[in-house]
Structure 1
Amino acid sequence: MGEYAVRDHDPNDPDPWLALALDRSLPFEPIAKAALIRDQSSRCRQFLLPLVRPFARLTIIVAQLIHTVSPRWPHAPRFLHRSIALGMKHLLSRDANLLILRHFHLGAQILRFISDNATPGFHPPLKPMTPRRIDDVREDLFLNHDLNIYNYLIGLNCELERRGASVARVDRIDFSAITDEIVLDPLPNGRLNVVDLQTAIELYTPAYAMLLTDRDFWRAANSLQLDETIGLYVARLTGEEKHLAMINNRHPLVPFSTLGAGFRLVLHGLSTEVLHGFLRELKARQRDQPAMPSATTAA
């Protein structure tokens, strides 16, 4: 719980963050949950975010007007990612950087889990998503993350069609892709590392809109709604649907406005953390259950 302790509880003035720190309704990795609560309750988010958000969204509108006239220019993904890495290293809080780098690992594990069980022996070829340090972001990590999810869905469903198969419940699930620990190198924690995750995302989103092509930004913004698609695949494989209640970005067949992409990106991170935690719980449950004997063994 970090700085949130029960001894500080005042029934006449209860701390909402203490209540959330104690809450156990979500299958959330404790380290990540503590980092998220510290990040969301920070003074930076409280005071800087409300000032940043309107200007950030106005800049998105300007960027989209520019791309209406020139849809493929400006296009500077390498400059964008180096700028993001510089900001992460010198301005973002340790908690914000932890949550960002964890997200890539968790997303990659969830996709691997689905193909392990839906198309055993076949995995769509994807760019690696296992950054250990901030400098790994410089290699177009965010853009490749967006490309991966679409390439994954296309590759997975082409393979399912080739096999004449569908995503369906698996009796003995392969959880080998889901790990309990994400290993990262030490993260910066200097005097200027105070910017919270949500403020950083609101600042990065207009830069994303301006420095990528119109098609790249539209695809990235709407990839957030693929949370529901991935959640439905997991539900079909496991026969469990509880995690779907925590998916807030909804189905991509009806895209949201790109103006809210910053906030929806935070929801995307939360959905990924919860889905990964849910799979870790299922993995532990299956590990504790004895395997059912096969018909041959029983005979």
Structure 2
Amino acid sequence: MDPVELLNSEPHDPRDPDPWVALFLDRSLPMHERTKAAMLVDQRSRARQFMLPVIRPIARLCIILFQCMKIFMPNRFTSSKLLHRLLAWGLKTWVSPEANYLILRHFHVGSEILDFIARNASELNVPTNPIRPTELVHVRDEIFLNHDLNLYNFVIRLSRALRDQGRTLSPPAKLDFSGVSDEFPIQEMPNGWTNFLDLQSAIELFTPMYQLFLTDRDFWRASNSLQLDETIAIYVATLLQAPGLVALVNNRHPLVPLTTMRAGFRLMLHGLSAELLHGFLVECKHGRMPQLARIVAPTLQLPAQPVSGAA
């Protein structure tokens, strides 16, 4: 059953209310309805309830062991192509359709957020490299690695352009939302009897593989990129003149990088932050920005002047 229909059809017992239904029906945060439903159905699954507590400590132990191994053999097993082929197979074979939908959608969301910034700072001529997978076979194109590269390259190019022109990022006379989509052309995901693994368990399992098959530099860059959520949110908040928008972001403080041990959990927060940021842009596109500006009150104040490109 479609996740939206599933949650909408749940009966309400006042003596035993369903917390997942409550979160789904709540509209205090801007989020795509099907995406929110898929995330909640995925998180209430039995796999997450019973397997995640077992998978998580084992995965983190593997991260420690692989880190020690890479001290002596830093590039012995590295192969991004092999990694992404294994990830594509693992997603197709073991991961739930809801989780796979969320994974592919994330690349569209991230591409459109960067595109929104570039469009509304068009005079800087910052190039983007959008990643728009429609099916799991596209994972083989090293899209996880390229997603991280896109993020860092965008921040570097934007910041250098601002510095070279002696400018700061500021909103244009008229915002351009033409690159923000309501829906993405993602195909139906595999739904066989083996597709039971939830998103968070899959991330915890795949993180040690990511560490093993990438160079140490690539893995650290991928882990630290999660804290750039704050930087990207500041860019968008500056363009929208909505400082409270940064309060939606949980991965912060990129100047003080965290260890890789909690990369799996922070990747979940990264996905949620990106969805909320994109949801905000969709609402603004449809002229509902004033209401949302009140919802995300400026609990985290930005500087009075436009922030610099090196946020």
Q: TM-score, normalised by structure 2?
A: 0.88
Partner of 1:31: 34
Partner of 1:267: 269
Partner Cα distance (2:123, 2:283) in 1: 22
Which position in structure 2 is the counterpart of 1:297?
A: none
Matched residue, 2:87: 84
1:60 aligns with 2:50: no
Deviation at 1:285, TM superposition (A): 0.9
1:116 aligns with: 119
Please list the CA deviations of residues 13-34 of structure 1 after superposition, one character each: whole Å capped at 9, or x if unmatched.
Answer: 2211111011101100011011
State the 1:5 CA deviation: 4.2
Aligned equivalent of 2:188, options 178, 186, 194: 186
2-structure distance, mates of 1:286, 1:37? 25
When structure 1 is superposed on structure 2, of 111-120 and 44-53 the one drifting more is 111-120
In structure 2, the CA distance between the partners of 1:6 and 1:215, relative to structure 1 (3 Å rule), is same
The structural deviation recorded for 1:172 is 1.3
- Distance apart, 1:140 and its partner CA: 0.8
8 Å CA contact 1:78–1:140 kept in 2: the answer is yes
**Corresponding residue number in structure 2 for 1:292:** none
Aligned residues: 287
Alpha-carbon distance change, 116 to 74 in structure 1, aligned in 2, over 3 angstroms:
same
Please give the secondary structure, in 1, of the residue aligned with 2:256: coil
What amino acid is aligned across from residue 92 of structure 1 in structure 2? Answer: V
Q: Is the 8 A contact 1:26 1:274 kept in 2?
A: yes
Q: Which amino acid aligns with 2:238?
A: R
1:204 correspondence with 2:217? no
1:45-194 alignment runs, 5 A limit: 45-120=48-123, 122-126=125-129, 128-194=130-196
Are the aligned partners of 1:119 and 1:156 in contact in 2 as well (CA < 8 Å)?
no
Q: Report if the CA contact (8 A) 2:47-2:198 is conserved.
A: yes
- Find the counterpart in structure 2 of residue 213 from structure 1: 215
Distance 2:257 2:25 in 1: 35
2: CA distance, partners of 1:146 / 1:249? 15
Partner of 2:259: 257
Unpaired runs of 5+ in structure 1?
A: 289-299
Name the structure 1 match of 2:45: 42
CA distance in 2, matches of 1:241, 1:73: 46
**What is residue 242 of structure 2 aligned with on the other side?**
240
Specify whether residues 7 and 177 from structure 1 end up closer, same or farther in structure 2 by C-alpha distance, changes over 3 A only.
Answer: closer
TM-score, structure 1 normalization: 0.92
Give yes or no for contact 1:112–1:123 (8 Å, CA) kept in 2.
Answer: no
Letter in 2 for 1:54: P
Determine if contact 2:134/2:187 at 8 Å carries over to the other structure. Answer: yes
TM-superposed deviation, 1:243? 2.5
- Residues 285 and 156 (structure 1 numbering): CA distance in 2 closer, same or farther, change over 3 Å? same
Identity of aligned residues (%): 51
Using the TM superposition, give the Cα deviation of residue 194 of structure 1 relative to its aligned residue in structure 2, in angstroms: 1.0
Contact 1:124 1:151 (C-alpha < 8 Å) held by counterparts? no
The amino acid across from 1:219 in the alignment is R
Change in 2 beyond 3 A, CA 1:71/1:16: same
Residue 297 of structure 2: aligned partner: none
Over the aligned positions, Cα root-mean-square deviation in angstroms equals 1.7
Distance of aligned partners of 1:138 and 1:7 in 2 relative to their CA distance in 1, 3 Å threshold: closer
Q: 1:282 to 1:100 in 2, by over 3 A?
A: same
Amino acid at match of 2:28: S
Q: Is the 8 A contact 2:124 2:161 kept in 1?
A: no
CA offsets, 1:226-248, max 9 Å, x none? 00000000111110123312211
Measure, in 1, the Cα distance between the counterparts of 2:74 and 2:155.
25
Q: CA deviation at 1:123?
A: 2.7
Between the aligned partners of 1:77 and 1:41, the Cα distance in structure 2 is: 32
Moved over 4 A (4+): none
Asked if the contact 1:170/1:238 (under 8 Å) is kept, the reply is no
User: Does structure 1 residue 16 correspond to structure 2 residue 19?
Assistant: yes
